[in-house]
Amino acid sequence: MRPGQTHKSRSTPGRPGAPAKVAACRVTFHIDPDLTLFLRARPGEAGLAVDYDGTSSVGHGVESLGVPLTEVGEIRIAGHPADDHARIPPESTVTVLARRRPQPVPDGTARVCLDGHLGTLARRLRLVGLDSWYRNDTSDDDLIATATAENRVLLTKDRALLRRRAVRLGAYVRGDRPDEQLCDVLDRFAPALAPWTRCPACNGHLDPVPKAEVEHLLLPGTRRTYSSFARCRSCGRPYWHGAHGGRLDRVVERARRTVARRISADGGAGGTGTAPDPSGTPAR
């Protein structure tokens, strides 16, 4: 089903056992303003009258307009809540509402999987402590398989990817700049933050270590200037609060404010806020 199009049955009249033809009808979709950016036809227009074949599910109808179901919070047919597999009665009005924020995740922990175009966002999410799987050379099929197997939220700006049936839990990332994207993800899920606890490069855990343990990996200037270090359990990279520490501190502080605002706007019933920072864990 597409705006302005009708799909007709291929049944043959009089053929034994053939399904009866279903008369096409007109259905009006009212799209939440927060979702109109996804519309294929007349972007930005909330009300769309389309031809309906009488057999497709309402979820198929929503996605045929361009809106991924991952972004939909509730569907109403003639004012009544409906499952996305429901059929649409003739001449009905369908209301499509965006997901409420903060959006809960199945196990209560926002673990994410990012597509290959979101590398900077992946590093920012790791900086604030989110378990963030990322590879820049992964196919869409492998990305979906990883997200599904590890129960992760698939983050992407690829709308077609989110409309694939194999995607169980996904989210469209809004914004073009990494700061905007980070704010959007944190606002949507309001996760517990644990800054400086994950390796921005590989997502491994960071542990405080004595300077002597990483001294052989440091440049002479770093050895002379800094005394507190952490090291990734997985890749072995050393970290310290260096020249870029102030900029990263500001990223972390903005992240904390974003989560706090969302939880406050939700009446305190949203995500779990900020986890305490482990003492002595620096960032490079």
Cα dihedral 24, 30, 34, 35, rounded to 10, equals 0
Q: What is 25-98's CATH number, 3.10.28.10, 3.10.20.30, 3.40.50.80, 3.40.50.970?
A: 3.10.20.30
Of 126-130, 225-229, 261-265, 272-276, the poorest mean pLDDT is in: 272-276
The reported pLDDT for the residue numbered 109 is: 87
Q: What is the DSSP letter of 241?
A: -
Name residues whose C-beta falls within 8 Å of residue 257's C-beta, 6 or more positions apart in sequence. Answer: none
Q: Is the peptide bond before 102 cis (omega within 30 degrees of 0)?
A: yes
Q: Using CA of residue 208, residue 212, residue 215, residue 217, what is the dihedral sign?
A: negative
Q: Cα–Cα distance between 154 and 162 in angstroms, integer?
A: 8
Name residue 19's amino acid.
P
- For residue 137, pLDDT over 90 is answered with yes
Check if the beta carbon of residue 182 is closer than 8 Å to that of residue 121: yes
Percentage of residues in the chain having pLDDT higher than 90: 75
The model's confidence at residue 54, banded by pLDDT at 50, 70 and 90, is confident
State the Cα–Cα distance between residues 80 and 94, nearest whole angstrom: 9
Provide the pLDDT for residue 42: 67
pTM score, whole prediction = 0.84
Number of helices (H), then strands (E), in the chain: 8, 12
pLDDT band at 13 (very low <50, low <70, confident <90, very high): very low
Long-range contacts of 239-247 (CB under 8 A, 24+ apart): 239/196, 239/199, 239/206, 239/282, 239/283, 239/284, 240/282, 240/283, 240/284, 241/282, 241/283, 241/284, 242/284, 244/284, 245/282, 245/283
pLDDT band at 45 (very low <50, low <70, confident <90, very high): low
CB atoms within 10 A of CB 12: 10
pLDDT in the model for residue 199: 98
Q: Which of the pair, 59 or 16, is modelled with greater confidence?
A: 59
**Is the pLDDT at 7 greater than 70, yes or no?**
no
Q: Is 42 left (phi over 0), alpha (psi -120 to 50) or beta?
A: left
Query: Higher-confidence residue: 43 or 118?
Result: 118
Question: What interhelical angle do 178-189 and 245-265 show, nearest 10?
Answer: 40
Q: Can you list the alpha helix ranges (DSSP code H) found in the chain?
A: 58-64, 119-127, 140-149, 159-162, 178-189, 211-214, 220-225, 245-265
Q: How far apart are CA 164 and CA 160, in angstroms?
A: 7
User: pLDDT tens digit string along 226-239?
Assistant: 999 999 999 999 99
The predicted pLDDT at position 266 comes to: 84
List the domain boundaries for the chain.
25-98, 112-265
Task: For residue 91, count other CB atoms closer than 10 A to its CB.
Answer: 11
